[in-house]
Amino acid sequence: MAQTDLSKYDNSNYNPGAGPLKRVLWFYMNAIFLKSSLLPINRFKVFLLRSFGAKIGKNLTIKPGVNIKYPWNLTIGNETWIGENVWIDSLVPIIIGNNVCVSQGALLLTGGHNYQKSGFDLIVNSVVLEDGVWIGAKAIVNNGVTAGSHSVLASGSVANQNLEPYFIYQGNPAMKILVRVIE
């Protein structure tokens, strides 16, 4: 297996996109209203996300226990469903299209670390879930991955590379196993 050249990544000037006060305020709002089950009112969660800069379409369903790092780096289309205990690590932009399902316990990760450097330098890359994508329960989408239109990442699978449109992927690392046929 060829070794990945991580030397091309330089995020030493990483900027989370908001100042310390906004980040601290979001930390508490996220903990109280999204990560907990204290206020299961969907409309309030959407209002809160928009108030902190998220771009959200119509009819988002966001279940209890969702953890969102920085909502100002989040774009979600119409008719999308985010399941319980999903972790959206939006250090940089995450774009979620229309009619997407992110199932329970899934992870959308935009950050990692360069294991070839003694300081474990931060590596960040966006995640894109195009229209009609289904991310299965406890699946992981790693930084820099685009899930093509109507692709499926099966439960417990790990996407380290882009997913082609209309294919089903499974395993760790996720491998293409079937064509997705929609009736």
Angstrom distance (rounded) from CA 60 to CA 168: 24
DSSP H or E run through 176: strand 175-179
For residue range 93-102, what is the model confidence (pLDDT) as tens digits?
A: 999 999 999 9
- Residue 121 — pLDDT band, cuts 50, 70, 90? confident
**Angle, CA of 3, 8 and 14, to the nearest 5°:** 125
Q: Is 68:34 a contact under the CB 8 Å cutoff?
A: yes
With beta carbons less than 8 A apart as the criterion, state whether 94 and 108 touch.
yes
On the question of pLDDT at 113 being above 80, the answer is yes
Q: Which domains does the chain have, with CATH numbers?
A: 19-179 (2.160.10.10)
Average pLDDT estimate for 66-83: 98
